[in-house]
């Protein structure tokens, strides 16, 4: 009987110790909560509109075209590769469809060698897969926001796709027809 009591106490102490240790570790180094899933379409559209217009005085007569290209680098290496925050792009669309804005857009600078062109780079999936529906929605929302903010006389800006993204079979003739509707 004495052995059984000792074993029960030992197991109880073990359970308390393991639970206490896991709670302490969780408190010291909280990991991110499990993802609630992909970004919703409304969130992607909202983020894209904010990326284009928030805290930026857009010089409408400076921009005449939008160029979309695939960026094979990862998001972190792309952001780190730009010296002093300068980049060869204005907007970068992450794998999850989240847009990032470069300093070149905030300051309304043109990319050297491409005057009057707004550059949108889409980060390629690690497995080399096609552009996701979230990325495509973000690109469309960025272009729609650019049309509203920088389009001249209500005209849409022409959109060019680099050769790197042509293999994705994007039907650019439908790009303006499939733009997301404005949010309230």
Across 45-66, average pLDDT: 88
Distance of alpha carbon 81 from alpha carbon 85, whole angstroms? 9
Q: Which residue has the higher pLDDT, 164 or 12?
A: 12
Write down the pLDDT at residue 177: 42
Distance, CA of 97 to CA of 100 (rounded, Å): 10
Whether the per-residue pLDDT at 103 is higher than 80: the answer is: yes
Least confident span in 21-25, 110-114, 118-122, 126-130: 126-130
Give the residue-averaged pLDDT of 157-163.
84
pLDDT at residue number 142: 94
What b/e sequence results for 59-94 when a residue is b if at least 16 CB atoms lie within 10 Å of its CB, and e otherwise? eeeebeebbbbbbeeebeebeeeeeeeebbbbbbbb
Query: Percentage of the chain surpassing pLDDT 70?
Result: 70
Among 26-30, 81-85, 105-109, the minimum mean pLDDT is found in: 81-85
pLDDT beyond 70 at 33: no
CA distance 89 to 162: 13
pLDDT given at position 19:
93
């Amino acid at each position: 009987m004495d052995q059984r009591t000792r074993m029960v106490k030992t197991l109880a102490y073990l359970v308390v110790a393991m639970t206490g240790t896991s709670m302490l570790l969780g408190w010291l180094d909280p990991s991110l909560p499990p993802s609630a899933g992909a970004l919703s379409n409304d969130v992607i559209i909202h983020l894209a509109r904010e990326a284009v217009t928030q805290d930026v005085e857009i010089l409408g007569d400076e921009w005449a075209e939008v160029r979309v290209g695939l960026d094979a680098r990862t998001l972190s290496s792309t952001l780190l590769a730009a010296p002093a925050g300068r980049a060869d792009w204005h907007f970068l669309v992450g794998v999850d469809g989240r847009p990032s804005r470069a300093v070149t857009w905030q300051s309304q600078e043109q990319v050297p060698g491409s005057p009057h062109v707004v550059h949108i780079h889409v980060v390629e999936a690690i497995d080399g897969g096609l552009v996701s529906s979230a990325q495509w929605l973000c690109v469309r929302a960025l272009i729609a926001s650019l049309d509203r903010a920088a389009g001249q006389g209500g005209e849409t800006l022409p959109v060019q796709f680099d050769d790197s993204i042509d293999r994705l079979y994007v039907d650019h003739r439908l790009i303006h027809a499939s733009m997301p509707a404005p949010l309230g």
